[in-house]
Structure 1
Amino acid sequence: MPGLPGSRSRFIGRRAELDRVIRLLGTNNIVAALDRSLGHGDPGQGLTIAAAMWWYWWVTGRVAEGRSWLGRALAAAPATPTPPRGQALRGAASLARSSGDLAAARALGEQSLAVFRELGDRPGTITALNSLSITAQGQQDYDGSLSYGYGGLALAEQDGDRRGIAAAMNNTAGTLRCAGRLDEAGPLFERALAVFREISDPRGEAAALNNLGIVSRRRGRLAASAGHMRAALRLYTDLAIVEGQVDAVEGLAQLAVLDGDPARGLTLLLLAARERVTLGSSLFTPDEVADRDSAERAARESLTADEITRAVRAAAGTTLDAAVALLCEMNV
């Protein structure tokens, strides 16, 4: 995620500060401030508020709410290129992508890139390129995704932007993995992980670990895959990033199916699907969608109707917190 602080303590501190502000002001007061700024006062101020809030909307699962406010703010404020406009467009693109609206995410991402380029904002440009790399990947436009990814990587390397470098490597490796180029993707994920750890970026570290877990699973290295994914799950849990937890749960569910426990695997897959609906956050990475769907088919085909019913009931009766706590303790 672009714009995150460069250390674990500052990341957690930022989340805590956002929570503190929300508690002090109250959701109703923030909504009132946005509504007043956009409808009756200063739409530029409203855009600034909305741009600053997009990350909170994402991490707390308020994707639809965030998209609505950012759309309203972008429509109300002047179209003049400004840093808040570029940031709001970038946030709107991320929330659109998270909700599965890849066409809107691509268009908003291109607008964000254009704003940052016109402003001569190099960090913003790198962020926009990295975001577009992920969106194009979801659209299976792998050539476009690699172009964005390598473009962002080149700029980040020129600027010595360590987080930008790690993010670009992680995103580009994801595209290579989607294209089946595991021999290239694996080492690039390892390099991204090393940089994320060097700069103490736990969110990036979790993403790289989860990606490495997928590569290991594809290569049949189930124990290594489980280790990567449990480590990612613990980090996402520490950071209270629910979407990341769901990603890791889905990965561990697939390992359960491969390891001969289809009932547990199906239960976890159904639980994860429920959480995605609640979050309004769909899975959009092509190879991850294919792997998840394949695992669910395999689980259902190997279970009786009664066993499937029990798995459905178990998923309905299990909270995400309970599933996460158990998975963090298990070997697979």
Structure 2
Amino acid sequence: ALALRDKRLLLVLDNFEQVVLAASQVADLLAMSSQVKALVTSRVPLNVTGEQEFAVPPLPLPVAGVNAVADLAACPTVALFVQRAQAVRADFVLHEANAVAVVEVCQRLDGLPLAIELAAARSKVLAPAALLARLTHGLRVLTGGSRDHPARLQTMQAAIAWSYDLLSTEHQILFRRLTVFAGSGSLDAAESIAIRGGDSGIDGLEGLSTLANNSLLRLSQHGDADARFTLLHTTREFGLEQLVASGEMAEMRQRHADWCVHLADEAWPAFAARINQVAWLDRIELEHDNMRAAITWLDQSGECDLALHLCGRLSWFWYLRGHLSEGRRWLEHALDRAPEAPDAVRARALLGLAMLAHWQGDDGRAIPCLEESLELSRKTGDDWGIMFAIGILGIVAEDAGEFDRAYPLQIEALALAQAMGDRSNAALCRTHLGITAWGLGDIDQAVLKWHEALETQRELGDSWAASVTLSYLGLAACNQNQLALAKAYLGESLSVRWAMRSQEEIAHGIANFAVLAASSGQHAHAARLFGAAEAERNVIGLTLQEPEQSTYAQAIEAARAGLSREMFAACWSAGRALGVEQAVADALATRIESPGRVDLRAKSPGPTTLTPRELEVLSLLVLGRTDREIATALFVSPRTAHGHVANIFAKLGVSTRTAAATTAIAAGIVVAPS
């Protein structure tokens, strides 16, 4: 310290976790030498005065949606993999055939440089796809580091063990128990499962903090939500091996499954009545990976009845958040595995399966499930199950366009809901009675029912059902040429759906705005939104039902009639490529410029007979690009670009670039730049 007192220098100390007990000596040295600063690398903090922590995160992973090989090669994780692969195999090249596998390897290894280096070294004998397949047991593959590296850096197992061995016995117990969590977990869950009754010997918050400080898990917090912990794949695999060796695996997996079942049971009342359900939907979304792990464990351990019970509880979440195919797979499997489950459990599971099957267009599966669920609910005296099954049978008939058959079922469901005092489901029945009235041609009665339903839904805070009712009021307003009112209804509906992340309803909400655009003569905008809605439906496996199917078909034909075949196809394709977030923004930005009625079945050509190339030019023109800039962007000559601009002016009936931009945005040919 005396030798450094008058020096001005940076003191670098590497791998300080090996001698962390000497941290106070470093602090004393710095206190005596004001011109000396220390840069310390360590797997654990020094916990001394003046210390400023900078976490070293894993390398960035490729951005979702980036598929071009050149762009992927620029990603640090991929670049590191390629560099290390070429060190052992000089002819290794990243190309279209192996790029996806390389990206998945990097993702599976969480961007950890050491893990990526060890994996890439296997490229001498394994192609990326074969390497990826072996990473199910990654620690067996991630070996063979350079002999000139310390032993702890020659295998991933040794690197993790180095941190694990620094822990106290109590913290080792906590760490290995936490590996039963999939994805991430909360402090509350950790205390309920890994520290139940204090049998690990430590406090939950202190324990998680210590594990984070030792780089064995990561803590993250978003907004005002409680912090959550996450284990990286390789770290979790190491911990699971320790858990198996301890003999605690079965007990911890069962504790974890029991906790998931309890959470789903807590959420169910909010789902059944749809009151304050958004917070519960978000909570279950956070725990979805854990729910999957719990169902798997219950199935594997022979607790098939409980697995079926859990699947039944999750069915509404799977429906609203767009997990239709996954939910069906779980429910079908669980029903097959638990043929003797209690009637009430099977009834709820069959009801959930029926909903998911119906909204995927499989009424051949949905109707028998509904009928069996109804029979079991009557047998057990479950009034809610009886009411809801009858209500869904009415919706199935309604969606098939069989409105005469739907009406008495919906009336019966309404009477049952009222008898139970279930105001939220009674209001939902009124919404569907309105849809049936619309299908039967009585629009006035439909609007009356919708307003009755909406009043109750707003009072109760049933925002999801209100969004459904608002969407039909919006479509009815389009039909009656009340376009400003239609936009208000549809805007509120889609905003609620987006906030709830209700995937099915978001797809419908985008399509509803396409109807509005077609109703106001914005054919190109309508075609784009219909393309975006189709893409979103395809993502979740959703099929169209009546009366939306007929309403959308009319609007699509109106848009098709108002555009050339090439332009319609180009706009539809552009919509499919938008992405759901941009599609929602574009839908909500729809402008109502035309006060006159536009018949959805009219063959109105309008000014939008632009060619696909002219549409590209117009899009750049709206952004303020000059002819020369447009030419550069489209790889054409300035003269050709000028010719396209002149043709656009002629077709739009304008003489200036400002007028062309204004007219194109107003007509929905292009979207106004943000």
Give the structure-2-normalised TM-score.
Answer: 0.46
- The aligned counterpart of 2:420 is 159
Report if the CA contact (8 A) 1:5-1:201 is conserved. no
- What corresponds to 1:202 in structure 2? 463
* Equivalent in the alignment of 1:4: 271
User: Using the alignment, how far apart are the partners of 1:17 and 1:250 within structure 2?
Assistant: 29
8 Å contact kept, 2:575–2:583: no
Moved more, 78-87 or 155-164: 78-87
**Structure 2 residue 348 is matched with structure 1 residue 87:** yes
Residue of structure 1 equivalent to 2:567 = 307
Identity of aligned residues (%): 26
Corresponding residue to 2:369 among 108, 113, 126: 108
Name the CA distance, whole Å, in 1 between partners of 2:486 and 2:564: 28
Deviation at 1:76, TM superposition (A): 1.8
What amino acid maps onto 1:22 in structure 2? H
Say yes or no: does 1:16 pair with 2:276: no
For 2:579 and 2:362, the matched residues in 1 are separated by: 27
Q: Which whole-Å deviations, capped at 9, do the CAs of 1:199-223 have from their partners, x for residues lacking one?
A: 1110011011011112222222222
Structure with the largest fraction of helix: 1
Cα separation, 2, equivalents of 1:67 and 1:35: 15
- Counterpart Cα distance in 1 of 2:520 and 2:555: 11
Equivalent residue for 1:274, pick from 511, 526, 535: 535
| Deviation of the 1:261 alpha carbon | 0.9
Change (3 A) 1:316 1:247: closer
Which residue of 198, 206, 227 corresponds with 2:488?
227
Q: Does 1:168 align with 2:429?
A: yes
Q: Distance in 2 between matches of 1:34 and 1:74?
A: 12
1:326 aligned counterpart, secondary structure:
helix
* SS of 2:457 mapped into structure 1: helix
Conserved 8 A contact 1:134-1:171: yes
Matches within 5 A, 1:240-319: 240-284=501-545, 286-319=546-579
- In structure 1, list runs of 5 or more residues that go unmatched: none
Secondary structure of residue in 2 paired with 1:96:
helix
Q: Do the aligned partners of 1:116 and 1:124 also contact (CA within 8 Å) in 2? A: yes
Report the CA distance shift for 1:312/1:164 in structure 2 as closer, same or farther (over 3 A).
Answer: closer
Residues 247-285 of structure 1, C-alpha deviation per residue, up to 9 Å, x if partnerless? 11111101111211101101100111111111101111x
* Matching residue's letter, 1:306: E
Q: Take 1:174 and 1:220, find their aligned partners in 2: how far apart are those partners?
A: 19
Contact 2:518 2:526 in 1 (8 A): yes
From the superposition, tell whether residues 3 and 91 of structure 1 become closer, same or farther in structure 2 (CA, over 3 Å).
Answer: farther
Q: What is the alpha-carbon distance in structure 2 between the residues aligned to residue 111 and residue 172 of structure 1?
A: 24
Higher relative contact order (CA 8 A, sep 6+): 1
Q: CA deviation at 1:40?
A: 4.7
Instruction: State the distance in 1 between where 2:340 and 2:450 align.
Output: 38
In 2 relative to 1, CA 176–233 (structure 1 residues): closer, same or farther, beyond 3 Å? Answer: same
Could you say if the C-alpha distance between residues 7 and 130 of structure 1 is closer, same or farther in structure 2, counting changes exceeding 3 Å?
closer
Mapped to 1, the partners of 2:431 and 2:443 lie a distance apart of 13
Distance 2:551 2:274 in 1: 33
Q: Aligned residue for 1:61?
A: 322
Secondary structure, aligned partner of 1:4: helix
1:39-50 equivalent positions in 2, closer than 5 A: 40-50=301-311
Residue 47 of structure 1 contacts residue 84 of structure 1 at CA under 8 Å; is this kept in 2? Answer: yes
Alignment of 1:128-207 (within 5 A): 128-207=389-468
Asked if the contact 1:146–1:175 (Cα under 8 Å) also holds between the matched residues in 2, the reply is: yes
Q: Within the alignment, does 1:324 sit opposite 2:584 as a pair? A: yes
Structure 1 residues 146, 276: closer, same or farther in 2, change over 3 A?
Answer: same
User: Aligned partners of 1:168 and 1:322: how far apart in 2?
Assistant: 33
Give the letter aligned to residue 277 of structure 2: F
CA 1:114/1:5 → structure 2, altered by over 3 Å: closer, same or farther?
Answer: closer
Residues matched between the structures, number: 325
Looking at structure 2, the residues matched to 7 and 155 of structure 1 have their Cα atoms a distance apart, in angstroms, of 17
Residue identity in the other structure for 1:62: H
Q: Distance in 1 between matches of 2:538 and 2:274?
A: 31
Distance 1:19 1:78, change over 3 A: same
3-state SS of paired residue (2:544):
coil
Cα 1:270–1:34 shift into 2, 3 Å: same
Gap change, CA 1:226 and 1:326, over 3 Å in 2: same
Deviation at 1:160, TM superposition (A): 1.6
Secondary structure of the corresponding residue to residue 249 of structure 1? helix
Decide whether the 8 Å contact of 1:89 with 1:111 is kept in 2.
Answer: yes
| 8 Å CA contact 2:531, 2:574 repeated in 1 | no
In the alignment, the residues of structure 1 paired with residue 317 and residue 429 of structure 2 have an alpha-carbon distance, to the nearest angstrom, of: 23
CA drift of 1:31 comes to 3.8
CA contact (8 A) 1:106 1:136 kept: no
Q: Measure, in 2, the Cα distance between the counterparts of 1:263 and 1:230.
A: 20
TM (normalized to structure 1)? 0.91
Q: Please, which of 186, 202, 216 is the counterpart of residue 477 of structure 2?
A: 216
Contact between 1:197 and 1:205, CA under 8 Å: does it hold in 2? yes
Compute the displacement of 1:15 (Å): 1.2
Larger CA deviation: 247-256 vs 296-305:
296-305
Segments of 4+ in structure 1 off by > 6 A? none
Q: Larger radius of gyration, structure 1 or 2?
A: 2
